[in-house]
A = this chain, B = another copy of it.
Amino acid sequence: MLKAHMSVICRSPLFSGIKTEELEQLLNKCFHAKIQTYARGEVIAHREAPVEFFVLPLKGRIAIVSERSSGERIIDIMREGVPYGPISYYSGAKRWIVTLEVLADSVALLIPHDIITNPCSKSCGMHVKLTENMLGIVSCSAMQLDLRLNLLSYKGIRERIVYYLLTQSSLNGSLRFCLPLNRNEMADYLNVSRPSMSRELSEMKSEGLIDYHKNNITIIKPDLLAKMTGEYPLKPRE
């Protein structure tokens, strides 16, 4: 079970600088980490619940959801190999600040949170390395939040769309790429209403700024778009 996913696990920034053999030892003997499978619709962690483990997604599609009783929600998608939970835990809150919702059948590694704060005798050698890795991961997550904050600080729908498209383009290293979100999810991500977003998208298409069929986007006038956001196409990351 664990074997099948070792390649993804090895590539996780949490374990960078640790040899594969050491890692297997660590996972089995010390961490008591568990592979868990989830079906679409399941909830891995509930907002407000205590953080008992970090979630390291290995396969599938898991959403990070902040939902209000009023129905508004904003979402993001977890990235393979990047553990979620450390921020909630190490900030001292020790409770989930978001809900993790499974969008498509997924597999994740659950890592008890005490791997770093209470290293067992065997993993002590890795303690420092793991803490350093964790520092990098949490910093990157914070950058991700900052990116999102920048996006939401645009007041216009068009600016948000442009910022998002430029970011995606930059991540893909091309002006043609495939959107990872469907329209509903994208509207949630941009924190705008879906019809308004659709309206804007088709206007942008008719103005010849972009083109798209389904989820395949082509940016036609990158420089014009870049001018609109006033700043910042973004460096990819990690």
| A→B interface (CB under 8 Å) | 66, 68-70, 72, 74, 86-93, 97, 127-128, 131-132, 134-136, 138-143, 145-146, 148-150, 152-155, 191, 229-232, 235, 237-238
Contacts and interface: CB of A to CB of B under 8 A. Distances in A.
Given A90-B135, A138-B139, 6 more contacts: A86-B139, A87-B139, A87-B146, A93-B143, A131-B132, A134-B135
A101 to B, nearest CB: 16
13 contacts: A74-B149, A89-B139, A91-B136, A91-B140, A91-B237, A97-B143, A134-B135, A135-B138, A138-B138, A141-B142, A142-B142, A145-B145, A152-B153
How many chain copies?
Answer: 2
A136 B92 contact: yes
A76 to B, nearest CB: 10
A208 B89 CA distance: 39
Nearest to A235: B93
Nearest to A148: B149
Contacts of A86: 139
A152 B155 contact: no
Contact of A66 (B74, B153, B238): B153
B135 A238 contact: no
Nearest to A92: B238
Nearest to A95: B235
Contacts of A91: 136, 139-140, 142-143, 237-238
A63 B126 CA distance: 38
